Amino acid sequence: MTDEKSHWEDSTPVALVTGGAVRIGRAVALALAEAGYDLVVGYRSSAQEARETKRSIEELGRSCVLVKADLSDAAAVDALVDAARQRFGRLDVVVNSASSFRSVPLTEVDADEWDAVMAVNVRAPHLVVRAAADLLRDSAGSVVNMVDLSAFQAWTQYPHHAVSKAALAHLTRVQARALAPRVRVNAIAPGAVLAPDGWPAEQWEKVARRAVLRRTGSPDDVVNALLYLIRAEFVTGHVLPVDGGRLLGPTGPITDE
């Protein structure tokens, strides 16, 4: 047992980040490289951004494997974990960051639209963790799922997205129970840390005013939360909001907030 522990401690840790080529996923991948992790980075269509992310990781002195994977395809999910298994022989951290963010009125969400979002936002994080469970147990690793505030709020512009994130928040708790005590599973619920593509500045400023801290955050705030969770050995099964206090809601029954 002592020799096995020494083997894991002496080896370079490995992290798998889905959606790791762009936006928050990219920030997470680079932060993990800076923290000393080799990386498996999954991406779907952002090939150029993925190559740039790989280059940045390698400039930090770490190894990176890119895996093109449509997470709505179960076989593609397996390919991500297989890349970690074959290249590195270990896996210490899984970050489920890939997400579908589709705005469709509730009454226009048909079966295909519903299934497409659920496949990426709920089923894929389950399948990734399922495929990686043995490697995570070997390393006493951890999982961090990325949800958002729609897991707690009724976002009518993104109805099936909101339901999927609520499901992922609860899946986090189920995974934490099922994989304990060797593997810890937590989630982060970012608030306004990165404006959606195409949003005008005035809309982003309006979001900032809704936060108790009266400002938006940055991907660095999410990165700091992630690094805390993967190092916090007595924390599992929790969803950590990183939202400037938006979940606190308005100050009273009559407010301009």
Per run of 10 residues, the mean pLDDT along the chain (length 257 residues) is 50 96 96 98 94 97 96 92 96 96 90 95 98 98 96 91 96 98 98 85 84 92 98 98 90 59
Give residue 43's pLDDT.
Answer: 96
Give residue 207's pLDDT.
Answer: 83
Say how many C-beta atoms besides its own lie within 10 A of residue 137's C-beta: 13
Give residue 251's pLDDT.
Answer: 65
Give residue 195's pLDDT.
Answer: 83
Structure tokens that stand for 199 in this block: 């949003």
User: How many residues appear in the chain?
Assistant: 257
CATH numbers and ranges of domains, the chain: 2-248 (3.40.50.720)
Strands (E), 126-176: 142-146
Helix (H, G, I), strand (E, B) or coil at 64: strand
Helix (H, G, I), strand (E, B) or coil at 16: strand
Give residue 162's pLDDT.
Answer: 94
Give residue 1's pLDDT.
Answer: 40
pTM of full prediction above 0.75: yes
Give residue 8's pLDDT.
Answer: 52
Residues paired with 16 in a beta bridge: 40, 94
Find out whether 94 and 136 touch, Cβ atoms under 8 Å.
yes
Find out whether 193 and 178 touch, Cβ atoms under 8 Å.
no
Give residue 79's pLDDT.
Answer: 93
Give residue 101's pLDDT.
Answer: 85
Structure tokens that stand for 233 in this block: 């050995």
Say how many C-beta atoms besides its own lie within 10 A of residue 217's C-beta: 19
Give residue 6's pLDDT.
Answer: 46
Cα–Cα nearest to 226, from 15, 13, 28, 20: 28
Give residue 198's pLDDT.
Answer: 78
Give residue 254's pLDDT.
Answer: 60
Q: Per residue in 96-115, is it b (16+ CB within 10 Å) or e — as a string?
A: bbbbbebebeeeebeeeeee
Q: How far is CA 130 from the centre of its chain?
A: 16
Give residue 188's pLDDT.
Answer: 98
